[in-house]
Amino acid sequence: MCLKMCYYSLPAGICLAQRLLSAWRPDLVLHSAQEVYPQLAAAKLRVPCASFLTWPGPGVPLQMASIPEAERQAWDEALAKHPGIVPANEIAREHFGVDVLATQLSCRHFNRQLNLVFSEPRLGAEVPAYQQALLDDSTFLWVGHTGSPQHHITGVPAATSLAPWSELDQDDQPWLVPTGTKVILVTLGTLIVDMRWEMAIHVSSSGKFTGRAFCERLWEELVEQFGDRSDVRVILGVGPRQDVVGSLGDMPKNFAARRFISQVDALEHSDVFITHGGANSVKEALAAGVPMIVVPFCVDQHSNGQAVERAGAGVVFPQLMEAKRGAVAAAVAAALCGPTADSQRRRSRALGLELKRGGGAEAAAEACLRLIQKQEGKEQDPEDSDASGWNWRCLT
C-alpha cells in the first residue's frame, strides 16, 4: 500500500495543483514533503514554498523500507520510467515549470528554499549516494520536537478528532504505582493496532504479517515473562478495536490494557518504553528520558529504531516475528535494571535535550517568516514583524 503512493503521487498531484490555482493566492506554501502538488502550485504562482518532514531526515527510506537496500536504486529508476509517471512529468514541466523526475525523489518532494525537519540529525539516516545529487542544493533545518504534552492520545484512529480524550477517566492512571515497582509502557501505534490490524503489510524474512499477528507475538511474550510479578506494572495501549479482547485473553493482575492512553503522561512515569518506533513516539520518549525497546512494523520505523540503538538510548528488534522467544523480554529486563540501564536512560535524556534545543515550532515559524520577508524584499527580525495579514495554508 505504501509503495502504491509512489505511482499515484505525481499524476494525482498534477490534478490537485491545477485545482489550487483557480482560487488560491497564499503568501507562503507550507506542505508535507510527501505531496508534490503544493510545490507545483507554488512554482506556478511564484510564491515562497517550504516542505516539512515528520520523519527524521532525507535519508530515511519511508515507503521503500520494505525493499532491500541494494534494490532501492533500481526500484526508483524503474518508477521514473513508469508509463503513468512519464506523461504526468511532462505536464508538470510544461505547465508548472517543474521537472519533477529530474529534481525530486519519489514521494519525497524536498525543495531548494526550505525543508523543515521536526527531529534531530542524529535520529536520521545516511542519504544513499544516488539520491544525494538531488539534495545538494536543498536547505534543511532541523527544529527538534514540536509535540504538545496534551495532544498525543494513543489509540485514536488517524481519521478521527481528539474527542476520545474527553471520554477518558482522568483518575485512571495505571502508571501511578507503589515505590519500587517498575513501569513498562507498551504502545504500538494506531497503524498496527487498528488500521493494519487485519492487513498483512509487515514484511519479514518469513513472510508478511498482519497487525494482529504482530501484536499477539509481542503481548504473549510479555505476559509469559512479566505476568503476575509484584515488582512490575505493564501498561498496554491496545487501540479502539472491539476484537482486541480475543487477542489479549486473560490478563495477569499486574497488566493494565487501555484503549486510549495519554502517552506523554504515561512516559513521565515509565521506566521502559516498548514502541513500534513511530517518529513522534520516539521523540516523546527521548523528551522524557525513557529507554526504548523498538519493534518496527513499517515505513520509517526501522530507521528510527536503528537510530535509537545507535545513540545508545535503547535496543531495536528489526524482525520481531523472527526474534528468539524471550529476547525482547530480556532486553526489557536489561533496560530496567541491567548494567546498561543507567547509560540508556542518560543517553535518552541527552538526546531529548538536543531535540528541545532545535527551537521547535517557534524556530519553524521564524524560518517561514523569513522566506516571506525575502520574497517581499525585506529582511527583518520576525519578532518585530506583524504576521497577522499573511495568508497561511498548511497542506498535509
Torsion angles phi and psi, residue 390, rounded to 5: -85, 145
C-alpha 298/C-alpha 211 separation (Å) is 11
C-alpha 74/C-alpha 99 separation (Å) is 20
The sign one gets for the Cα dihedral 359, 360, 366, 370 is positive
Would you say how long the chain is, in residues? 396
Number of neighbours of residue 139 by Cβ within 10 angstroms: 14
For strand 392-395 and strand 28-32, is the pairing parallel, antiparallel, or unpaired? parallel
C-alpha 364/C-alpha 371 separation (Å) is 11
C-alpha cell at 268: 513521565
302-317 b/e with 16+ CB inside 10 Å = b?
bbbbbbbbebbbbbbb
3-state SS assignment for residue 186 = strand
CB contact set of 218 (below 8 Å; sequence gap of 6+)? 186, 188, 274, 295, 320, 328
pLDDT of residue 186: 97
CA nearest neighbour of 275 among 326, 218, 200, 204: 218
Under a CB-based contact definition with an 8 Å cutoff, are residues 26 and 368 in contact? no
Q: Write down the CATH number for the domain with range 4-144+358-395.
A: 3.40.50
**In DSSP terms, which residues pair with 393 in a beta bridge?**
29
For strand 182-187 and strand 153-154, is the pairing parallel, antiparallel, or unpaired? unpaired
C-alpha 323/C-alpha 274 separation (Å) is 15
**Residue 394 parent element (H or E):** strand 392-395
pLDDT of residue 16: 77
Torsion angles phi and psi, residue 26, rounded to 5: -85, 165
Do the domains spanning 4-144+358-395 and 153-356 agree at the CATH topology level?
Answer: yes
- Per-residue pLDDT of the chain (396 residues), as tens digits, is 455 666 567 777 777 787 777 777 889 999 999 888 889 989 999 999 999 998 898 888 887 888 888 998 998 888 888 888 899 899 989 999 999 988 888 778 888 899 999 999 999 999 988 888 888 888 899 999 987 655 555 554 444 443 333 344 556 788 889 999 999 999 998 888 888 888 887 888 788 889 899 999 999 999 999 999 999 999 999 988 888 877 788 889 999 999 888 899 999 999 999 999 999 999 999 999 999 999 999 889 999 999 999 999 999 999 999 999 999 999 999 999 999 999 999 999 999 999 999 999 999 999 999 999 988 775 555 444 443 333 333 443
pLDDT of residue 147: 72
Q: 338 to each of 222, 232, 285, 294, 330, how far by Cα in Å? A: 18, 15, 19, 17, 10
CB contact set of 230 (below 8 Å; sequence gap of 6+)? 181, 254
C-alpha 195/C-alpha 209 separation (Å) is 14
pLDDT of residue 294: 98
DSSP 127: P
The sign one gets for the Cα dihedral 389, 390, 395, 396 is negative
- CA R_g for the chain: 22
**In DSSP terms, which residues pair with 394 in a beta bridge?**
30
For strand 202-204 and strand 140-142, is the pairing parallel, antiparallel, or unpaired? unpaired
C-alpha 12/C-alpha 9 separation (Å) is 6
User: Residue ranges per domain, the chain?
Assistant: 4-144+358-395, 153-356
The CATH class of 153-356 is alpha beta
C-alpha cell at 261: 492512553
Amino acid 192 reads I
3-state SS assignment for residue 120 = coil
The sign one gets for the Cα dihedral 149, 150, 152, 155 is positive
Number of neighbours of residue 208 by Cβ within 10 angstroms: 13
Instruction: Estimate to the nearest angstrom the gap between the alpha carbon of 268 and the chain centroid.
Output: 20
pLDDT of residue 84: 85
